[in-house]
Structure 1
Amino acid sequence: MSYPIPSYFLMLEEEDLDELQSDIWNDDPVPAYMVIKNDLCDIDIAYRGSYTREFRKRSYQIDFIDPETYLGARQIHLNAEYRDPSLIRNKLSFDFFQELGVLSPGSQHINLIKNGSLKGVYLQLESVDDLFLEKRGLPLGPIYYAVNNDANFSLSRDGKKKKCLLSGYERIVGNESDDAFLRKLIRKINTTPLADFPDEIPQYINIEKYFYWLAGAVCTMNNDGFTHNYALYRNSETGLYEIIPWDYDATWGRRVDGGVMEYDFVPIKGKKSSKLCYLLLKVPKFRKLYQSILEEILETKFTVDHLESKVMSLYQALRPHVLLDPYKKSTVEEFDGEPEFIFQFIRDRNDYLKKSLKNLN
């Protein structure tokens, strides 16, 4: 199946471009125009990310002004994927999660041309907000972003008591009344006797979907994905929370700096720093459910046979554009080696996880 790479044309007035570039840490947007599929959109644009703002190739947040929404979105993110030599790890991860039935943002590679100058390949990411839910026919419910590692479902972090229960979370959708439900969840996790977990916690969390998310995070090996790099959505009809993955470029065997992350770096049970993950897997009933979910995924979806065509389709579609990318064309040899790097990671990681399944008993 072909994978088209469209071009987005970004235009900024000189004074607005100067203002944008004057302070990379300023979150205030500047006005601009963007042409997408021959449609002219008035937008606001700002840099996004944390340490990535210091990279030569920066990421952007785009807010649509006129029209207020475009293709069902009021906001999109353009990620530079600068440290990922393959440029596909984020998309590969989100598509993998979607196959597992886990709520995940849509993604699409694009070419960005800014004021007539090619800025290279970017990954357009869907914003996780109310429109994200609407597109999927889901009931409106609060959404929180885990903005730092305080979002560990615990009362403390690194042995120090947190200032408040919602430390580490930023509410994107919802109101203050929704905060009470999240506080209650965190209290329940930390005060419910382990023997009562099977009856109590499923009243707050969709357990099966949680373990599919955990299996996805463990397979792709996002080291930061257990206390960070996720969003939390509470379905207003069921009253249950679900986890949505976010920022999965440091996966499939690569660290955040692009270096190698050994296939056994993240254990089969995830990271103990997530209190929820740690406690759920101490319950035999839940551990057995996770084991069965992971066993199925390792046999069917997390295999080279299953993922090879997906990886190669992305690689082949991107390569002509990487050759023109001013930030990537000099490292095309490394890009060419990434498919086999990912395949070898899948083989090694799959074998490691299968051998580790016995540790869940």
Structure 2
Amino acid sequence: MGTIEKLPEYRLFIHPLDMYELRKDIWIDDPVSAKLTIQGKKYEVDIAYRGSHIRDFPKKSYQVSLYQPKTYRNANTFHLNAEYKDPSLIRNKLSFDFFNEIGCLAPQARFVFLKVNGKNEGVYLELESVDDRFLANRKLPAGSIFYAVDGDANFSLMSDLDKDVKKSLTFGYEQKSGMPGDADHLQKMIIDINTIPREDFEKEIVNYIHVDKYLRWLAGVVCTQNFDGFVHNYALYRNKDTGLYEIIPWDYDATWGRDVNGEEMESDYLRITGFNTLTARILDSEKFRSHYKSLLEDIVSNQFTVDYLKPRIQAMHALLRPYVLLDPYKKDSIDLFDREPDYIFNFIEARSLFIKKEIETL
């Protein structure tokens, strides 16, 4: 008999006065001091709420920054995601594991059980922060990292938000690492994406974008059906050695057949050619479109199948189930939690059929 895997227990202590400050205005990003104990080791940390609309949920998500000791698992910042609207609790991790397996950069993720001031807060997903340490842990060259924080991160000269010309081409992005001049390069790329003549696009875009990795990311978004993934829910990393950008997924709980509110999303909701200006221009090239087609065919035959994903989904479900019964926000919906693996299997089958049918139109 093998040993039964257990979730790491994270015990967070926040002084009542600091807890009052944290709760007073959930939209303020200012952190408060706290103590985090993991396997008997104590960490002095700063803690703040994270996310946008998710801050309104009763089960909060947190950003944790360490200052004594300065690192834990080779990170000095990580995220604790509540996954409140995902009845399975596994969609984010399932997505990032999937992206890794199809050849994309993606954050590492693992489940933990959180207690705050002695009370059960429940199952959380510990998410790696996409920053300098993310690169160092993968032995990747340093470079700029930009977070796509809203719908203006659409690679267009026009805003997705107010349908007008952008006042700045870095709207929609928040620089996480790199040098001040990196924003100028990002702007130049966005201008060129929109202005390179059609006949020159194929040979010039490869000076900016690692096209194979972009198309792998596109295939990942299309398979998992993250409708928001084209204009935010990603980070841009520019590799200092190659000078090329690649794209890193982020916030993938609204996937595998459910939307941002956890409601059912039809398996044919998202077209396989996706959205955003860069995707449209890349797929306008016969060479790139052909490469995308072969990538998609390969992924839906190998990684995006029930046979491949079922053992992973079942293992995560079995690992989490005893802890869901201890989660004050989730224990009353255990029946829904138990139905979710089959729901995800059905989605994979239906989505795969849709993609296979649509591939012929590429």
Paired position in structure 1 for 2:28: 26
Partner SS state of residue 175, structure 2:
strand
Provide the rounded CA distance (Å) in 2 between the counterparts of 1:17 and 1:322: 25
Partner SS state of residue 105, structure 1:
coil
Provide the rounded CA distance (Å) in 1 between the counterparts of 2:252 and 2:262: 12
Alpha-carbon displacement from aligned partner over 1:302-329 (angstroms, at most 9, x marks no partner): 0000000000000000000001110000
Instruction: State percent identity of aligned pairs.
Output: 53
* Aligned match for 1:268, one of 266, 269, 272: 272
- 1:330 Cα deviation (Å)? 0.3
Provide the rounded CA distance (Å) in 1 between the counterparts of 2:13 and 2:69: 16
Partner SS state of residue 227, structure 2:
coil
Paired position in structure 1 for 2:9: 7
Runs of 4+ in 1 over 4 A off after TM superposition: none
Matched letter for residue 230 of structure 2: F
Aligned partners of 1:3 and 1:314 also within 8 Å: no
- 1:243 Cα deviation (Å)? 0.1
Provide the rounded CA distance (Å) in 2 between the counterparts of 1:89 and 1:299: 21
Alpha-carbon displacement from aligned partner over 1:12-48 (angstroms, at most 9, x marks no partner): 1111111111111111000000001221000000111
TM-score (norm 1): 0.98
Provide the rounded CA distance (Å) in 2 between the counterparts of 1:119 and 1:305: 34
* Aligned match for 2:254, one of 228, 250, 265: 250
Q: Does 1:221 align with 2:208?
A: no
Matched letter for residue 269 of structure 1: T
Provide the rounded CA distance (Å) in 1 between the counterparts of 2:86 and 2:185: 37
Paired position in structure 1 for 2:240: 236
- 1:157 Cα deviation (Å)? 2.1
Paired position in structure 2 for 1:326: 328
List gaps (5 residues or longer) in structure 2.
Answer: none
- 1:4 Cα deviation (Å)? 3.3
Matched letter for residue 6 of structure 2: P
Paired position in structure 2 for 1:169: 173
Matched letter for residue 190 of structure 2: I
Aligned partners of 1:24 and 1:47 also within 8 Å: yes
Please report the RMSD computed on the Cα atoms of aligned residues, expressed in angstroms: 0.9
Provide the rounded CA distance (Å) in 2 between the counterparts of 1:197 and 1:22: 51
TM-score (norm 2): 0.98
Aligned partners of 1:3 and 1:313 also within 8 Å: no
Provide the rounded CA distance (Å) in 2 between the counterparts of 1:153 and 1:112: 38
Partner SS state of residue 59, structure 2:
coil
Q: Does 1:345 align with 2:350?
A: no
Paired position in structure 1 for 2:128: 126
Structure 1 stretch displaced more, 134-143 or 63-72: 63-72
Provide the rounded CA distance (Å) in 2 between the counterparts of 1:186 and 1:257: 32
Matched letter for residue 227 of structure 1: V
Paired position in structure 2 for 1:298: 300
Paired position in structure 2 for 1:108: 110
Corresponding pairs, count:
358
